[in-house]
Amino acid sequence: MPGEQPIFANMVKLNTNENPYPPSPKVEAAMRQLCDNMERFRLYPDFKAEPLTAVLAKCYGLENDQVFVGVGSDDVLSVAFLTFFHSDRPVLFPDITYSFYDVWAQVYEIPYKCPMLDENFRIRKEDYYQKNGGIVIANPNAPTSIAEGIDFIEDILEHNQESVVIVDEAYVDFGGESALPLLKKYENLLIVQTFSKSRAMAGMRIGYAMGSPTLIRAMNDVKYSINSYTMNYPSLSVGVAAVEDDAYFRECCEKVIRTRTWARMELERLKFTCLDSAANFLFVTHPFVPAAKIFAALKERGIFVRYFNKPRIDNYLRITIGTKEQMERLMEALLEIVPVAEKKEGV
Amino acid sequence: MPGEQPIFANMVKLNTNENPYPPSPKVEAAMRQLCDNMERFRLYPDFKAEPLTAVLAKCYGLENDQVFVGVGSDDVLSVAFLTFFHSDRPVLFPDITYSFYDVWAQVYEIPYKCPMLDENFRIRKEDYYQKNGGIVIANPNAPTSIAEGIDFIEDILEHNQESVVIVDEAYVDFGGESALPLLKKYENLLIVQTFSKSRAMAGMRIGYAMGSPTLIRAMNDVKYSINSYTMNYPSLSVGVAAVEDDAYFRECCEKVIRTRTWARMELERLKFTCLDSAANFLFVTHPFVPAAKIFAALKERGIFVRYFNKPRIDNYLRITIGTKEQMERLMEALLEIVPVAEKKEGV
């Protein structure tokens, strides 16, 4: 089940890693153009999703046949699991990572194994040098927010030339390093990104994969066997507009990064430990006040963050970076919740 | 692979069973409202798809928990296959029917068996009284266009109380009889419908299933394991508007039915045999001119119909009902292609 989606006036929603800024004004213009051509809605959309795959290919310096688009990166990842993971050997991904990898493995009856992150919540690349049926690495990882460099990813690729290696870069635009340059060298690399975070369009459901023509063709073959027309006409049109407004995209990402830097400083003043984030969220823990208590106390105040009641991370909170104003409200609330004097519980 | 989607000026597109009329003006109004609230696009859509499931439930006299929505009926049917068909016994559907049933069965490794339609392309209900792992009946069937009555469907249900029986009613609004009243009596019945045909919104990708809360819950469980947010924000909003404009919906269906009656008469004057259609298309064959030749000759004239190069139906054409004007252009072209005098080949 996804995170809660409560919506009421004056709430502060920092629980599902959405972008605090609206989509580009060019997206609005594209939407208005659609309204002048409602006749087009009676027809099926282009099943090759070509305007969108083409503009993404151009944006990332790839050929059109190196891009696959789907209904959010969940759809893209799900199709990738179904397409590439057929071995008797287990697919490998970290024990703490995006919560859908094991769900897809279970639905599609794919064996899997989850090497543990180290004590600092870092991926140990050597864990991925064993025989496997595929590898999935979220980079930056979620919910830890930690990014690894491109050399780290390349080491994993070098040791795994027989497996498909998926790098899930949902959060890469907030300070991570993309594996994109490695596509030239590794035909077994699939990079997955999304419009839901950095492009501020979670409501549109657009995700994409980039890889060799062989991998993309295989994914399309599976896609055409399930649902030929996944991307509706508005998605295709406004998706193109979003990619074309590169300046707006960069500006939003920079604003989020600036707010993250400020928010981390403020949280540290309140004695929180924050992992090094290259994402649009912070993963934090407090030395005296349990995460579950902080979560509940924030919720009472109309501030929603994410709490995972799972082994190893049940004393952490994942806090989406909102606007500066939202983060100020968060800090004011936390000031009431966590003790400023040490070693005293404040809830 | 789906049917061709050529788009050029002045073409007559009668090959993918789209509605010849645009969506309701209320759909356009709903789209324009979305443009005034672009801020909403940064947020994930409602994962329960509630505005849309609720309005569909109301429209069909059901409870909200009896409706499932997906990205076109292909998505809905694919989720249903994955959810319900797990037996070692074969799933049953006719040898001539919607071309995706066997594809989904293959992708999900579901055993299946295809009882033959009789010599008049009718389903023999007795074929479905054998042990099975599930049943799928398109009613009206495609590409035959023939509809069976509700008693026929009930007979199949009565003989199959241990299997999930899916009735695919993609074309029901053009003269078929829905199995809807049987939902009260049979908890194993799942009815699937779509916005792509009668609601003139193929470009939006909206399909839905109606069934017992048990079946719908099971489908949602699988859906939440694959992609929690399949329906984007525009789909949910304009989908509601489309359902609410019932008068427009009925008017479009009636216009299509009137044009179908006229088109059939014209085709019969040209010596075509037309199966009895309760759909927005006609399935036709000519006694002297091979279907493949007619298909090619129409294509040369910018008129696209559908030809299936498959056993038993390779001398038939599936012709979507377009506007009266489009059908007139079709008849003019056919007049050039098929001989008016008997027993002379005219291509």
What's the token pair of residue B99?
């071309």
Q: Are A69 and A208 in contact (CB under 8 A)?
A: yes
Return the number of CB contacts < 8 Å for A and B.
184
Q: Which residue has the tokens 């009329």?
A: B21
Confidence bin at A177 (pLDDT 50/70/90): very high
Cβ-Cβ contacts under 8 Å for A301 (sequence gap 6 or more): A333, A336
Q: Does A45 touch chain B (CB under 8 A)?
A: yes
Gap between the terminal Cα atoms of chain B: 29
Question: What is residue B136's predicted lDDT score, i.e. its pLDDT?
Answer: 98
Helix (H, G, I), strand (E, B) or coil at B148: coil
Confidence bin at B4 (pLDDT 50/70/90): low
Question: What is residue A107's predicted lDDT score, i.e. its pLDDT?
Answer: 92
The mean pLDDT value for B237-264 works out to: 97
Tell me the pLDDT tens digit for each residue of B10-24.
899 999 999 999 999
Q: Does B114 touch chain A (CB under 8 A)?
A: no
CA atoms in the 13 A half-sphere facing the CB of B270 = 24
pTM: 0.94
Question: What is residue A347's predicted lDDT score, i.e. its pLDDT?
Answer: 45
- pLDDT above 70: residue B261: yes
Tell me the pLDDT tens digit for each residue of B109-163.
999 999 999 999 999 999 999 999 999 999 999 999 999 999 999 999 999 999 9
Tell me the pLDDT tens digit for each residue of A294-318.
999 999 999 999 999 999 999 999 9
- pLDDT above 50: residue A1: no
Confidence bin at B339 (pLDDT 50/70/90): confident
What's the token pair of residue A125?
């690349």
Calpha distance B325→B335 (Å, rounded): 15
Neighbours of B37 (CB within 10 A): 12
For an interface test with B, which of A21, A226, A256 has the most B Cβ atoms less than 10 Å from its Cβ? A226
Q: Supply the ipTM of this predicted assembly.
A: 0.94
What's the token pair of residue B255?
């216009």
Confidence bin at A339 (pLDDT 50/70/90): confident
A104 and B226 within 8 Å at the Cβ level: the answer is: yes
Q: Comparing C-alpha atoms, which of B70, B72, B104 is closest to residue A222?
A: B104
Cβ-Cβ contacts under 8 Å for B71 (sequence gap 6 or more): A71, A227, A229, A230, A232, B205, B206, B207, B230, B231, B235
Q: Comparing C-alpha atoms, which of B261, B256, B267 is closest to residue B334?
A: B267
Among the partner-chain residues B43, B224, B225, the one whose CB lies closest to the CB of A203 is B43
Q: Are A302 and A11 in contact (CB under 8 A)?
A: yes
The mean pLDDT value for B18-37 works out to: 96
Confidence bin at B1 (pLDDT 50/70/90): very low
- Residue window 252-271, chain A: list those with CB within 8 Å of chain B: none
- pLDDT above 80: residue A4: no
Give helix then strand counts, H and E, for chain A: 10, 13
User: Any bridge partners for residue A319, and if so which?
Assistant: A282
- pLDDT above 70: residue A2: no
The mean pLDDT value for A166-180 works out to: 98
**A288: closest CA of chain B, how far (Å):** 33
- pLDDT above 80: residue A341: no
CA atoms in the 13 A half-sphere facing the CB of A269 = 10
- pLDDT above 70: residue B341: no
CA B80 from centre of chain: 16
- pLDDT above 90: residue A8: no
Pick left, alpha or beta for residue A200 (phi over 0 → left; psi -120 to 50 → alpha; otherwise beta).
left
A44 and B196 within 8 Å at the Cβ level: the answer is: yes
A74 and B228 within 8 Å at the Cβ level: the answer is: yes
Question: What is residue B7's predicted lDDT score, i.e. its pLDDT?
Answer: 63
DSSP notation for B106-146: HHTT--EE-PPP-TTS---GGGGSS--S-EEEESS-TTT--
Q: Are B288 and B334 in contact (CB under 8 A)?
A: no
A180, A102, B64, B23 alpha-carbon torsion, rounded to 10°? 20
Total residue count of chain B as it appears in this document: 347
Q: Are B262 and A105 in contact (CB under 8 A)?
A: no
Tell me the pLDDT tens digit for each residue of B218-231.
999 999 999 999 99
Calpha distance B174→B279 (Å, rounded): 5
B262, B266, B269, B271 alpha-carbon torsion, rounded to 10°? -110
Please provide the average confidence, as pLDDT, over all residues in chain B.
Answer: 95
